[in-house]
Structure 1
Amino acid sequence: MLEKQFVFFDVPGATQAEAVRYLVEQAARLQRVRDVDTVVAAVLQREAEGTTGFGHGIAIPHGKSAAVTEPTLIYGRMVQPVDWQAMDGQPVSVLFMILVPEASHNEHLQMLAQLARRLMHADFVEKVSTISDVEQLSEYVQAELA
C-alpha cells in the first residue's frame, strides 16, 4: 500500500495548498499523476467539503481525478505543522494522501477506512509520527494496513 518511493520527510509548506501541491508534484514525478493542477484542485475541493484533519497531528487528504494513473498512497511529514482545521483543533504534521483515478469505485474508501481504523491506535500514530527511516516507515505502514 505505501511504497517507499512515496514516503517524503521534510515536506515544505505553510498552508494546506502548499503541502498538497508538493506531494502531488512528487506523485507526478513518479508518474502517478498526469496533470498536477487538476489533481491539486480535486484534493483541495474535497478539503473544502470538510476537513480531512483526523486529529493527533494527522490528516488524510484525498482526491479522485482522471489525471491520476493508479491508486496511490503518499506519506508526507511536514517541516513545520500546518493548520488543517483538524477535528481536535491541533495543527497537522503528518499527511497520508490518497489519490485515485476517476474510474475507481471504492479503492480510496477502502484505503481511508483502513487508515482511519489504525489511526485510532496511539501506538500507530506515534510510530508514523516518529519513524525517520523511509524503508522502516514503509514496511511498518504496509504491515499495519495489510
Structure 2
Amino acid sequence: MSKLARYLQVEDILLDVNVSNKQRLFDQVGQHLQETRQLPGDWVTASLWRRELAASTAIGDGVAVPHARLAELDSIHALYLRPQTAMAFAAPDQQPVSDILVLLVPAPADQQHLELLADTARLFSNPRFRQALLRCHDASQVKQLVDHW
C-alpha cells in the first residue's frame, strides 16, 4: 500500500472537473475543502497559488502534484482531480496535465511530508499505474487502485 492511500479519501477524488487553468483548479480545490473540511477556501487557494508561482509542480507525463504547507492545518489532506480536458501546467516535458494530486500539509514540513511527496512522485511516475488510473471511471475505483497498488 502506498503512503498516499492513508490520506486520500473517496470524497476527495474529483473526476471530470470542469477547469481550464491553474487558477480555476486551485479555486475548485479551495471550494471543495471549504465545503467538506471547513477549511477557509481562500487561504487554501492562495497557498497553492503561491507555491505554484515559485515553480511549476508538474512532474511530466501528464501529472502535476500541487502542494503547500499551511500552519493552520493539523493533518495532511490529499485530493486527486482529473480535469475534463488536459490542461497546460508548465510541465518539464511541455505535455498538458490530466492527473492532478493536491497535497496540503501542516507547516513546518517534516520527514512524513517529504516521504509522502517522494512516494507520490514514484507512484505517478509509474506508467502502469497511470494507465490503470485512466481506466478508473469513478472515485471508488481510484481509491481502490491507490489502496492496493
- Does TM, normalized by the shorter one, top 0.5? yes
Matched, 1:43 2:48: yes
C-alpha distance in structure 2 between counterparts of 1:83 and 1:108, whole Å: 26
C-alpha distance in structure 2 between counterparts of 1:135 and 1:34, whole Å: 24
Runs of 4+ in 1 over 6 A off after TM superposition: none
CA drift at 1:139: 1.4
Cα RMSD (Å) of the superposition?
A: 1.6
**What 5-or-longer segments of structure 2 have no aligned partner?**
1-5
Greater relative CO (CA pairs within 8 A, separation 6+)? 2
**What 5-or-longer segments of structure 1 have no aligned partner?**
none
C-alpha distance in structure 2 between counterparts of 1:20 and 1:61, whole Å: 9
Aligned residues, how many? 143
Letter in 2 for 1:141: V
Q: In the superposition, relative to structure 1, how do residues 63 and 23 fare at CA in structure 2: closer, same or farther (>3 Å)?
A: same
- Tell me the residue number matched to 2:69: 64
Letter in 1 for 2:17: V
TM-score by length of 1: 0.89
C-alpha distance in structure 2 between counterparts of 1:44 and 1:123, whole Å: 30
Check whether the contact 1:39–1:68 (CA below 8 A) recurs between aligned residues.
Answer: no
Alignment match of 2:91 (pick from 80, 86, 92): 86
3-state SS of paired residue (2:98): strand
